[in-house]
Amino acid sequence: MQTFERPKIEYTGISKTIAEIAVVVAKIAGPILRRLAWFVFFGVIIFGCAFVWAVGRFVNPLVPWIVRDIIVVAGGLGFVSLVAMVGIWGERKVSGHIQSRLGPMRTGGWHGWLQSLADGLKFVQKEDLIPASADQPLFRLAPYIALVPVICAYVVIPFGASWVFRDRDVSLLFVLAMLGIEVLGVILGGWASNSKWSLYGAMREACQLVSYEIPMGLSLLVPVMAVGSISLVQMGKAQSGGWFNWLMFQNPFLFFAFFTYYIASLASCKRAPFDLPEGESELVAGFHTEYSGFRFVMFFFAEYAAMFAVSAIATIVFLGGWNSPVGDATSGPLWFVAKGMFLVWVQMWIRWTLPRIRIDQVMHACVKYLLPFTMILFVGSSVWQLYGSQFIFYTRFILGGLGLVMVGLFLAGAGYGYVNRGRLVGRLARKHLPGA
C-alpha cells in the first residue's frame, strides 16, 4: 500500500544545530502547551486586556498623536480581527452544540480554537479566481467596499467612557452610515460576478438592507429622544448606576424599540432568518458564489465585524454599554465586550433555530409590521417624553422586572438542559474527550 511519508531532509551546519534545538524545544514545550491550552487561551485574553490597559495608561500621553493613533489603529484592527475570528469559530462551536455535536475540536488543541486562523490561512493559499466574463475591476473592488466601512464603523464605537478612538456628536449615525455603505459592496460583488445566483443574491440584499435601514433608524430615534444626544459616549454615560438605569427599562417604548432594533439589525447583518442574500438552499451561495480565496474571506469578515458592531450599538444604546448592571464599581470595557458578545451569541442562537424567510415575506414583515410598529413607538415615545416622566419609578420597576424574568427564563432553560444533559439526546449521548 502506498503511503505518503514526509521526505526526510538532512540538515547540515548551523541549520542542523537550530533544527536540533527546535526539536528539543518542541518536544518540551509541545506537551506542556497542550496541557496548558486552556490557560493559554485565557492567558491570551487576559494579556489582551492588560495590553489595552497599558495602552490607556502609558500610550495616551504620548505626544506625537500620530504614533498613538497608529498604535490604537493596530489595536482596533486586532480587535476587529479577533472578533471576526472568535465569531467564526464561535459560530461553529455554538451551532455544533445546539445540534448535539462538537464543532471544531482539533485545530490548536483545546476545542479547535485556532480553527478560524487555519481557515484564513487556507483561504490565503486558495487560488484567486475571477471569471473571464466578469467585470474584473469591479469584481476586485467589491470586497473592499464591503469590508472597509465596517472597520471604519469601529472608529466611533466606545468601549468605555474614555475608551473611544474618536467621538463626535453624530457617532451613532456614523455607524449606521458605515453599515449602509456595505450594501454597495455586496451589490457590486453580485453584479460584477455575472453569475445569475450572484445577481439574485445582490438584488435581494439591496432590497432587504435598504428597507430595513428604516425601522432601524426609527427605533434608534427613540433612545436618541430620551437622551437628547446622538453621541454614543453621551448615551452610555446617561445609563450608569445599575441595570434599572439602562435605557431599555426607562419606558415601554424603549423596551420594544430594543426588540425592533434587534430584528432590524439581524436583517441588516444578513443573519438568519434574513439570510436570503446567501441563502444556501435557494441561491447556491448568493452574492459571493463566484468569490474564492481571500476575497470571499473579506465578505465573511465584514459580516462578523458588522454583527459585533450592531450588537455593540444595541449594547450601548439600550443595555447600558460599559456600565455594569450592579453599581459602577466594575464598569468598564469588559462589560461592554461581554454584553456585545452575548448579543452576538443570541444572533447565532436564532440563526441555528429558525428557517429562512422568503423574500416577499421579508419585505412584507418590514413594511407592514416592523415599520408601522416603529412609527408607533416613535410617536408614542415622544408623547411619553411630554407626559410620562412621573411614571419613571413604576416603569423601571415593571420593565426591569420583566428583564429579570427574561434572564430567569433563559437560565431556567439552560439549567434544564444541563440537568438533563445525559437524557436529552437519548442513549447515544457521549461524554467528549478533550482535544479530539
For another protein, the binding residues in 42-101 under the rule CB under 8 A are 65-66, 69-70, 73-74, 76-77, 81, 92, 94-101
Binder among 79, 110, 113, 174 for another protein (CB under 8 A): 174
CB 255 within 8 Å of CB 402: yes
Q: Is 347 in the site for another protein (CB under 8 A)?
A: no
Binder among 155, 306, 309, 313 for another protein (CB under 8 A): 155
The interface with another protein within residues 303-342 (CB under 8 A) comprises none
Taking residue 196's Cβ as centre, other Cβ atoms within 10 Å add up to 11
Task: Give the C-alpha separation, 128 to 238, whole Å.
Answer: 49
Task: Give the C-alpha separation, 157 to 231, whole Å.
Answer: 10
CB 201 within 8 Å of CB 146: no
Binder among 57, 329, 360, 390 for another protein (CB under 8 A): 360
CB of 216 to another protein, least distance (A): 9
Nearer to another protein, 153 or 324 (CB): 153
Report residue 176 CA to chain centroid gap: 15
Binder among 378, 395, 396, 399 for another protein (CB under 8 A): 378
CB of 329 to another protein, least distance (A): 29
Binder among 24, 54, 330, 364 for another protein (CB under 8 A): 364
Task: Give the C-alpha separation, 160 to 171, whole Å.
Answer: 14
Nearer to another protein, 145 or 331 (CB): 145
Counting residues that bind another protein (by CB under 8 A) gives: 186
Q: Is the dihedral of CA 220, 226, 229, 233 positive or negative?
A: negative
The interface with another protein within residues 207-266 (CB under 8 A) comprises 207, 210-211, 213-214, 217-218, 221, 224-230
CA distances from 9 to 20, 26, 338 (A): 13, 18, 48
Report residue 265 CA to chain centroid gap: 11
Binder among 5, 27, 63, 394 for another protein (CB under 8 A): 5
Nearer to another protein, 408 or 413 (CB): 413
CB of 80 to another protein, least distance (A): 8
Beta bridge partners of 326: 242
Task: Give the C-alpha separation, 329 to 270, whole Å.
Answer: 37
Beta bridge partners of 242: 326
CB of 370 to another protein, least distance (A): 10
Binder among 60, 280, 392, 407 for another protein (CB under 8 A): 280
Q: What mask of x and - would describe binding to another protein in positions 397 to 416, judged by CB under 8 A?
A: -------------x--xxxx
Binder among 258, 261, 296, 322 for another protein (CB under 8 A): 296
Task: Give the C-alpha separation, 145 to 331, whole Å.
Answer: 35
The interface with another protein within residues 112-151 (CB under 8 A) comprises 112, 114-115, 117-122, 124-138, 141, 143-144, 147-148, 150-151
Task: Give the C-alpha separation, 299 to 302, whole Å.
Answer: 5
Amino acid found at 105: M
Task: Give the C-alpha separation, 150 to 270, whole Å.
Answer: 14
